Amino acid sequence: MKRLHSFQRLRRTTVCVAVVAVCLALPLFLEWVTTPAPQSRKIPIEAFRYGTLPSVIRTNRGDRLILTFSTRDTGHSFFLQDYRIDVKISPTDDMVEVRNPFRVTESPLDVREVQLTAGLPGLWGRLASVSRFRCHVYCGLMHGFEQGDLIVRPNWLLMGSLGLLAAIIVIGLFRVRWDESSSPAPAAPQHSIDLNRRFRFLDTWLKWRPLQFVLTLPILLCFILVILAGFFGTKVGGRNIAVMLTWAAWMSLLTLLLVPLGGRIWCLICPLPIVGEYLQRGVTIQRRAEKGGFFGNHFSGLGRRWPQAWRGLGRTFFLPVCLPRGLLYFRFQRGRPSYGAKTQ
């Protein structure tokens, strides 16, 4: 019986490996055979408040791109960092000023067009198919929307990710079928490990009442700093600490460590509900079980029950998430300028 289960495990492992190999190789092969040969292309780029036309440039690796620039309102720039190109565009001159942003001591060049070869060198250059371009000349409140993407085929990362996603779905279907058709394997003995007994310092640390407050307080201060910097700081994204902390530091920490390795550690130090909890309980560290205070420990509901229709999903998702975003979107749409019209 044990040998039979070992054989089944080996066979299923072989099937899973074969599914991953096929699902990964098929989209990569299709991307390779459908990518056209390199050619020369002339692409006119028009900058305006608040965007770039075209906002997405799709090309193939090895293409020779000839870029020309114009602006319909005021001065702008075309900053393509991966290709070391920084172009200053003037509404009064057909010539553009081009410099290498990594060589600030070199004098800029005045040219009518910029030429580059699509595709970055090296192994990472072949894997990275998307390069972001943006404007560095501040021209209004929505200056941060002046950005776009240069997408180069073949896009190995995208097609490989789609293949792995398909492999996960196929293997999941196989697992469901195997579980329904096979007899249950003998359960292996489970040996539980009590980390609190093994590491006394961990037990003392986790049972220390001010732990959550001590861990949450600096995160809460960072959130307040980000909010204030977002409202009152510079509108240039690369110089605003709110943008850098949110998209450079926080997103990197979230994707590289917290999600794959941290589990629910973030729930321990999340500062989003902490201010409301402090106000509702009336304390920060101590325990307050009695219903004291003006609201009787029901600060958010004023001592009243939530309507039955607003419980569950409506209470936890719609009110704090969808409703504020819907109002902001409605307000933004009403005050949004017409991108196709010329600004006087």
Q: What is the pLDDT of residues 205-244, one digit of tens each?
A: 888 888 888 888 888 888 888 889 888 887 766 678 888 8
Q: Does 52 share its domain with 130?
A: yes
**CA separation for the pair 95, 69 (Å, rounded):** 9
Query: 133 and 58, same structural domain?
Result: yes
In order, the DSSP letters of 300-318 are TTTT-PPPGGGSTHIIIII
pLDDT at residue 40 tops 90: yes
SS3 state at 99: strand
| Rounded Cα–Cα distance for residues 128 and 122 (Å) | 10
**Which CA distances in Å does 90 have to 74, 98, 110, 111, 337?**
7, 12, 12, 12, 22
Distance CA(20)–CA(23), nearest Å, equals 5
Domain of residue 172 covers 2-34+158-181
Spatial CA neighbour of 245 closest among 213, 228, 265, 223? 223
Question: What's the mean per-residue pLDDT of the chain?
Answer: 79
Question: Phi/psi class of residue 282: alpha, beta or left (left: φ > 0; alpha: ψ in -120 to 50)?
Answer: left
Residue 68, in any domain of the structure = yes
Q: Do residues 59 and 150 lie in contact, with contact meaning Cβ atoms separated by under 8 Å?
A: yes
Q: Determine, yes or no, domain membership for 323.
A: no
Residue 179 — φ and ψ, nearest 5°? Answer: -65, -30
List, in order, residues 6 or more apart from 100 with CB less than 8 Å away: 84, 85, 86, 106
Torsion (CA) 100, 103, 106, 107 in degrees, nearest 10 = 30
Q: Do both 175 and 113 map to the same domain?
A: no
Q: Residue 103 falls within a domain, yes or no?
A: yes
Tally of domains in the chain: 3
**Percent of the chain scored above 90 by pLDDT?**
26
Over residues 241-296, the pLDDT tens digits come to: 888 888 888 888 877 887 777 777 777 788 888 887 777 777 777 765 555 555 55
Q: At what angle do helices 2-34 and 156-181 cross, to 10 degrees?
A: 150
